[in-house]
A and B are shown apart, each in its own frame.
Chain A
């Protein structure tokens, strides 16, 4: 019996177990400190829907052996472009939402292709370079947001006249377009975001189906054993680029879903560190640098958003102080550091 428990701890990893029990503890404490459990669970579900697709976007690149996508920002930028262009065109409702997605996919494919080609030249060192590609592209876009010729009065600085604002509200366009879709209201405070969850499940299904196609299995082969894949006649480089394009595209869609739920489009430096929470969530769900599955996405996103939602409210009520931000930093980055140091053991 003890051996079995040790085995589970070895496989799942002590930090994950600790975080799981921590979350259970938080849920247990919630009613005691006066926080409504049902509202909390609803909050967690809403945030899960908001962030889930971004976490999902990491999976293709892990499967193809490109590692964790520290350059997630490229996909986010594609999504941002889609969002602001659709607002510039005054498109509202579902039309606006899908137009944003369409434009985003267009940019994502281009960016993903370039990004993938670059990653192919530096196989083995992708993660550090990706981080800085992500950072430099966000800073580059800062310049672009200022000088691109956008005219919509909802988006540009009121008195200066040129350049987009830092935060743009999408209310009146496609705010909550998914969240309110088929929304299930329970009582005064609970609003289950059916639309968002349905959309997430839809994308999950697409990804799952994709990896059952010939291309999908080729990508997985490239990731687990590139030499063998090459000898089977698979074009390793092409498969990697496809996986990068896929990841970037899903991320682009992901940020738009995030925005429809959040209510704001955040430009300039906001996306700078957005890769890290997504990566931490994926790792929390059981993935590693070389292996990731949809199961990891769902478990990880749920656990991560659970911690993010519950920690501030519960701990603030207990200790009367707002440590949540620092705790979140320690948790998410600690998870990533842990995962990075585990790799060696898995290989041997």
Chain B
């Protein structure tokens, strides 16, 4: 009985606190950690700027599946893998500069669409447990990626540039130097502002994606996706093909993730062939959740708030850990713990709230039913 009043009739301040529990707690942690770490302010600002330009695109790709009610899309990793395969090929063919980057995007798009389609179909067959399935699917595809890149390339798939192959003549090396496309997008136009090098074009691209997402919500397809996300049955009755719409939302997300990973890698300049994409899903989702998003609702501001908070924590953890307990190694583990913990906490909080609301709705419906029965039967009794 006590839970009945929990989320619906609490005063708005407490409701705000519960809704945004994760970013608030995180902000407090970060606020404590920054002075602990002793890192200078302008260094932090520079680092955050870099991370914003590097990571925002791929986190933005998570927004559309949330709209479609599919929760956190752990299978953006598939898109990242497609992007990496594209980069492997252009490095093999020695295509450089912005042309190289665009070509990588071009050739990895069909692969990303294919993987997104596959992912979408698998997730459709696992309705109700999309997140776990997406999570395991990412691991599965990682194994297949390994088979292709570590064994197929140089063997069945022709690779002519021996710089990127392992000494045994097939299989790609662990780390590929993307010197050709390093900074391809970032350095197209860059402004120097007080010691900070701002990659103008990258920021414009990110802004364009944000506007695209906002515009997309208003298009017919966007509306269909949102209605599927709100209630499958209502959507079906209005004539929307729920299954296809869900698959489409995953395809879009995967393709965006593919481009996002390419943008990410051109900024870093080196590709860890087998590791770069592993943490992509976890960190992107953690950042989004830290920014205040939930399984049912994620908006553009969540992305940027999330990147700033999450990555600040990322940067200051090692030093803060050292200052606090005397071992820098601790900061590393603390950082990993925080990433996983944030996701666990957010998801648990969301699931708990969803259950409580469902209970509330059920009780309300029962009360209503009783009232209706009593009003149509004034003599009382059932």
Do A and B touch each other in the complex, judged by CB within 8 A?
yes
A→B interface (CB under 8 Å) = 70, 118, 121-125, 127-129, 131-133, 135-136, 139-140, 142-143, 146-147, 162-163, 276, 289, 321, 323, 325-330, 333-334, 336-337, 340-344
Q: Given the interface contacts A131-B135, A337-B136, A344-B127, does A146 sit within 8 Å of B147 by beta carbon?
A: no
Known: A330-B144, A337-B136. 7 other contacts (CB 8 A): A121-B348, A132-B343, A133-B348, A136-B337, A143-B333, A329-B139, A340-B129
Residue B341 at the A interface, CB < 8 A?
yes
**Total count of chain B residues near the partner, CB < 8 A:** 39
A139 surroundings in chain B (CB, below 8 A):
333, 336-337, 340-341
Binds A, one of B8-16, B106-114, B214-222, B324-332: B324-332
Q: Is the interface of B mostly helix, strand, loop or mixed?
A: helix
B122 touches A337 (CB 8 A): yes
Are A124 and B351 in touch, CB under 8 angstroms?
Answer: yes
How far apart sit A139 and B336, CA to CA, in the bound complex (Å)? 6
Whether, in the assembled complex, B93 has its beta carbon less than 8 Å from a beta carbon of chain A, the answer is no
A132/B129 in contact, CB under 8 A: no
Q: How far is the CB of A149 from chain B (nearest CB, A)?
A: 13
Segment 119-142 of B: residues with Cβ below 8 Å from A: 122, 125-129, 131-133, 135-137, 139-140, 142
**Chain A, Cβ-Cβ closest to B123:** A341
What residues on B are CB-neighbors of A133 within 8 Å? 344, 348
Q: Is the CB of A127 within 8 A of B129?
A: yes
Chain B residues with CB under 8 Å of A343's CB are 126, 128-129
Are A344 and B139 touching (Cβ within 8 A)?
no
Count of inter-chain pairs, beta carbons less than 8 A: 121
The reply to whether B344 and A333 form a contact with Cβ atoms under 8 Å apart is: no
- Can you give 20 A-B contacts (C-beta < 8 A)? A70-B132, A121-B348, A121-B355, A123-B355, A125-B351, A127-B129, A127-B132, A128-B131, A128-B135, A129-B347, A132-B347, A133-B348, A135-B344, A139-B336, A139-B340, A140-B341, A163-B327, A326-B143, A329-B143, A340-B126
B146 touches A (CB below 8 Å): yes
Interface residues of B (CB under 8 A from A): 122, 125-129, 131-133, 135-137, 139-140, 142-144, 146-147, 150-151, 325, 327, 329-330, 333-334, 336-337, 340-341, 343-344, 347-348, 351-352, 354-355
Q: Which applies to chain A's interface (DSSP): helix, strand, loop or mixed?
A: helix
Asked whether, in the complex, the Cβ of B143 is within 8 Å of the Cβ of A340, the reply is no
Min CB distance A129 to B, Å, is 5
CB atoms of A146 and B329 under 8 A apart: yes
A121-B348, A124-B351, A142-B337 as given contacts; A326 in contact with B151, CB under 8 Å: yes
Q: Kindly list chain A residues whose C-beta atoms are within 8 Å of the C-beta of B336.
A: 139, 142
Which of A122, A132, A321, A330 has the most B CB atoms < 10 Å from its CB?
A132
